[in-house]
Amino acid sequence: MKLSAILASKGSNVVTIDPTASLRELLLELTRHNVGALVVSTDGNSISGIVSERDLVHAFASHPDPYSLAVSEIMTSEVFVAPLEAHVDELMQIMTDRRFRHVPVTDDAGSLLGIVSIGDIVKSRLGELESEREALMGYITHGG
């Protein structure tokens, strides 16, 4: 299965935040949208970075005054992105190896088309496994 199939069912909405936003704004946005990471962007389309709950935890654990920090100071700037044609299996492996749970999907120009989380991938894999199980049960019961 390709990422395009996941985006076709979950939609292309990506919550972004400006790099100059404060950590308080970041906390409010993560809570308001009930997500674990936001793409950092100045225009809602190009990618400056990504910031997740884990970055917030690190900031609060290590900085004496975390509320004085801006999102740009805690985000990851080198963002791993994938095209619509990327395969879910391939991405699952990369996310496991590199220990991140979010991958923005972009076009050739680097514009945002959506975001895929490890939760979306687990959901799509479970759907696939269920279809395979039903096909096998049909084959066993009716002989194909």
Which residues of the chain form contacts with ligand AMP (CB under 6 A)?
A: 36-37, 50-55, 76, 79-80, 100-103
- 79 or 124, CB closer to ligand AMP? 79
Strands 16-17 and 37-40: parallel
- 105 or 124, CB closer to ligand AMP? 105
| Closest distance of CB 74 from ligand AMP, Å | 8
For the chain, percent helix, then strand, then coil, each to nearest 5?
50, 20, 30
CA 130, CA 126: separation in Å to the nearest integer? 6
Residue 105's SS3 state is strand
| Closest distance of CB 102 from ligand AMP, Å | 4
| Closest distance of CB 6 from ligand AMP, Å | 15
CB neighbourhood size of 140 (10 A): 9
- 13 or 141, CB closer to ligand AMP? 13
| Closest distance of CB 29 from ligand AMP, Å | 15
- 39 or 124, CB closer to ligand AMP? 39
Please report how the helices 118-142 and 3-10 are oriented relative to each other, as an axis angle in degrees rounded to 10: 100
